[in-house]
Structure 1
Amino acid sequence: MGLVTLASLGPLGEELGAGGQGTVYALPRSPSLVYKAYSGDALADLDAGVLTDMIGLPAGLSERDRRDLLAAAAWPRDTVTDDGRVSGFTMPLVPGRFHTTLKLPDGQRQNRLGQTQLLLNRSDYLDRVDIRVDDRFRLDLLADIAGTLRLFHRLGLTVGDLSPNNLLFSRAGKPLCHFIDCDAMQLNGRTVLPQVETTDWEALSEDGAMAAKDSDVYKFVLLCVRLFAGDQSTTDAAALRRAGAGVHALAVQGLSGSVSRRPDLAKWEKQLRAARGALGEPVAPPAPKPSRTRVAPKAPPVYAPVAVRTPWFNRRRRRRLAKFAVVACLLGYGVTHTQQIESWLGQVAEAVAADDRAQAQAQADGIAALLDSSAPVRTKVKTAIGNLSKCRSLKKSVSDLGAAAEARQRSYAAANALVVTDVDDGAEMKGRLVEAFRHSKAADEAYRGWGQKLIKKGCGKSVLNGPDRKRGDQESVKSTQAKKDFVKIWNVVGPQYGHQTFEYQNI
């Protein structure tokens, strides 16, 4: 552990994730490790000395602290250099237990990182994606997070950007947490890169230091509240009454704004474990008494979900049937059978409403899936444009922009194919999303042409500020406006169906 070259890692494998600071790649030669390659912008602000100190931290700890730290975090392992300059670092691959499987709207299953943000949704959403957790799980997980933060603070570490994006959970056996993006933490007040905060998780301490311990504690309180509320942004502690009066009282104090009144993590961990103990274990149903008489097992009843459509009784036919019933009333049948028809109409109306809800949910799920799939592209584009403007990594940037344009084309086609007839403001959202991807694709293609001319003609001023770059900038502005218009609607509609809000920069 310490210092390695990029060439020694061998060919890079699959891209596992991308963010504002860089991109994470699999390492086929070392499958237990991954490589985080910093973006050009991040390298300009990098403090390599702090990264070296972070990598060396575990070696100076006791055996128990070292074991606990490495179990609780994807800790940086080796500094990676390329042509004598720091390019990123290696870290352990996230253990399999911190992945989870989601059930998609089409019935397929998707394995992904168990980011805690998934848990900050309503129970109906969790049921749909087949993430089944109860308050026992929530209390166990929060107690483990509190204990882990106490360990970090004792070792001179503060998280700073404590949010559900960089915190994973495990449902395999005992609930546990696991921190990622550890290079974004503070080590004894020093940082590898300037710290940023996640939207809706901002909390400056009284002395203005974002990563002070009391800031971590405040954001932990937010996590407790939002995990029990199933809400991404609430600050109302009422949901924690389910966990008992003691936990609720700690949350009210923790959100008061006064650092002096804010309960410390030791109190939180103790109270959470006490609340978990008070819940006890779920009681298993009593086993059936053995019978001396052999009886054929009774088949369980089969229940048809109300919202499921059958081939002969689909949504359109329900509506036609309802209209037929109204006509029957008007033609005189209702004169002697009004009560029966009213009852029947009520049943038909309920069936139509249930079908409408199911359709709207499936359509909202489709929009959310498209948004998730499009998020990683923007980071690559931003990095490529930055490199072109500085006349570096030209071939790679052109290649990345070509791949981005192809991805935008796929997103554009998927947006055009969206069915949004039952979602509130669906047509408006679809139009804005289609427009955003169309202009993004045009911008990527223009920037790619710009890069090709830089390779061919050199980086003179006339080429650096040529027509392709200007066209790319113009298309980018149009795309940005369409994205802003879209998220303004989606951030109202999406949460109604259990989906998170989006920033326009992440589309």
Structure 2
Amino acid sequence: MSAEDGADVARSSLVLGNRIGSGGQGDVHTVAGGPLLFKEYKNPSSVDGGALADLVGLRQDLDQADRSRLDVLAAWPLCRVVESGRTLGFLMRSAPSSMMWRTSTGASKLLELQYLIRAPKAAWQEIPQPTPRQRRALALACVEAIGWFHDAGLVIGDISQANVLWSLSPEPVVYFLDCDGFRRVGRGAVQAQAGTPDWNDPLASSTDATVDTDAYKTALVAGRIVAQEPYVTPGQILELVPDCLDDRQSEAVRRLFAQAAGERGTRPKPGEWQTALSDRGVIALTAVTPRFRPGIDLTVLDGARDRTPIRLRGSRPA
């Protein structure tokens, strides 16, 4: 079973293996005969099947290059799983094996962001610790991914230490989980927005999910990675890991982190974090006209960028 065409799959056709995860909204099972996982909702009556179909359709509408990019970045919903007219869950790919680690008892666990932003513990001896420069590269990978999602017309919502994975092999990369919590800008959510304590925007309800709440949480992700401090928030002093950033980067990151404490609409965009954390320094960018489908709110875009905008098959420049 590939689920590549995005078509609905009947729940009765699935042969499930072990349950490998459980959260507040659903359980995750392996699927016999393939590399896919099945997330089954605990309360299907609370699920907006149309919103989930919308996320599946977004991937189908991407051109091949951007679809491959999405697959590298996220455990994206490939297709809905349905039965008797109800949406029960969805199929997705499992996280890359490089983003797993083994405990002393031999159990496999996901390499979550929490292991990057906290001081290492004795029980984490099997987790490779990044060098200061690799830590900067992981922060950069996070803000680049968030910017990519925004360029695709998406709001992430719940960005936290449990739903971002990371790896140093073969290079510093990140991977997003719980992608059914994403939503298309201006459209509904699959379920009520989840929130994570210590990761919520203080100027918004924990159930809010907007480009602006994403901007605040982008500051949390970037700042907490380069400081290796799980609770630091904008408005506090950002003590950076030694040798993680050069002088220019340090100044720019501290400025953006402080700016994120400001009013809604004034928080730094992912593209600003990308420039601050990059090796290139501040460069002049030429504005581009993004390609989009009707219905995508252009306020989610970061404006001038040094990358090709997300392309949807059959789309035309505005």
The alignment's TM-score, normalised by the length of structure 1, stands at 0.49
In structure 2, the residue matched to 1:155 is 152
Q: Separation in 1 of the partners of 2:96 and 2:173?
A: 12
In structure 2, the residue matched to 1:203 is 201
Q: Separation in 2 of the partners of 1:226 and 1:2?
A: 39
1:84 offset after TM fit, Å?
3.7
Counterparts of residues 81-160 of structure 1 (less than 5 Å): 81-102=82-103, 104=104, 108-123=105-120, 128-160=125-157
Larger Rg: 1
In structure 2, the residue matched to 1:9 is 14
Counterparts of residues 365-384 of structure 1 (less than 5 Å): none
DSSP 3-state at the match of 2:53: helix
The structure that is strand-richer by fraction is 2
Work out whether 1:33 is the aligned partner of 2:30. no
Work out whether 1:258 is the aligned partner of 2:263. yes
Work out whether 1:22 is the aligned partner of 2:22. no
Q: Which amino acid aligns with 1:33?
A: L
RMSD: 2.4
Q: Separation in 2 of the partners of 1:150 and 1:166?
A: 17
Report if aligned partners of 2:212, 2:265 keep a CA contact under 8 Å in 1.
no
Work out whether 1:169 is the aligned partner of 2:166. yes
Report if aligned partners of 1:36, 1:88 keep a CA contact under 8 Å in 2.
yes
Q: Which amino acid aligns with 1:75?
A: W
Report if aligned partners of 1:225, 1:239 keep a CA contact under 8 Å in 2.
no
Counterparts of residues 258-407 of structure 1 (less than 5 Å): 258-274=263-279
Report if aligned partners of 2:74, 2:175 keep a CA contact under 8 Å in 1.
yes
Q: Which amino acid aligns with 1:74?
A: A
In structure 1, the residue matched to 2:302 is none
1:301-329 deviations in Å (ceiling 9; x for gaps): xxxxxxxxxxxxxxxxxxxxxxxxxxxxx
Equivalent residue pairs, number: 267
DSSP 3-state at the match of 1:200: coil
1:94-117 deviations in Å (ceiling 9; x for gaps): 121222344x3xxx5543111111
- Work out which structure has the larger RCO, using CA pairs closer than 8 Å and 6 or more positions apart in sequence: 2
More off after superposition, 109-118 vs 180-189: 109-118
1:168 offset after TM fit, Å?
0.7
Q: Separation in 1 of the partners of 2:31 and 2:101?
A: 22
In structure 2, the residue matched to 1:249 is 255
Question: Taking structure 1 as reference, are residues 38 and 267 closer, same or farther at Cα in structure 2, changes over 3 Å only?
Answer: same
Counterparts of residues 62-73 of structure 1 (less than 5 Å): 62-73=63-74
The alignment's TM-score, normalised by the length of structure 2, stands at 0.77
Q: Separation in 2 of the partners of 1:84 and 1:172?
A: 43
In structure 2, the residue matched to 1:385 is none
Q: Separation in 2 of the partners of 1:27 and 1:208?
A: 33
Q: Separation in 2 of the partners of 1:112 and 1:209?
A: 28
Query: What 5-or-longer segments of structure 1 have no aligned partner?
Result: 277-507
In structure 2, the residue matched to 1:321 is none
| Fraction of identical pairs, as percent | 30
1:199 offset after TM fit, Å?
0.6
1:111-161 deviations in Å (ceiling 9; x for gaps): 311111111211465874543112211111111111111111111111111
Work out whether 1:192 is the aligned partner of 2:198. no
1:334-393 deviations in Å (ceiling 9; x for gaps): xxxxxxxxxxxxxxxxxxxxxxxxxxxxxxxxxxxxxxxxxxxxxxxxxxxxxxxxxxxx
Q: Separation in 1 of the partners of 2:280 and 2:129?
A: 20
1:62 offset after TM fit, Å?
2.3
Report if aligned partners of 1:183, 1:192 keep a CA contact under 8 Å in 2.
yes
Q: Separation in 1 of the partners of 2:251 and 2:123?
A: 26
Report if aligned partners of 2:116, 2:228 keep a CA contact under 8 Å in 1.
yes
Q: Which amino acid aligns with 1:239?
A: E
DSSP 3-state at the match of 2:279: helix
Indicate which of 212, 215, 218 corresponds to 2:213: 215
Report if aligned partners of 1:123, 1:230 keep a CA contact under 8 Å in 2.
no
Query: What 5-or-longer segments of structure 2 have no aligned partner?
Result: 1-5, 282-318
Q: Separation in 2 of the partners of 1:81 and 1:127?
A: 39
Q: Separation in 2 of the partners of 1:116 and 1:160?
A: 16
Report if aligned partners of 1:160, 1:212 keep a CA contact under 8 Å in 2.
yes
In structure 2, the residue matched to 1:464 is none
Q: Separation in 1 of the partners of 2:124 and 2:8?
A: 46
DSSP 3-state at the match of 1:259: coil
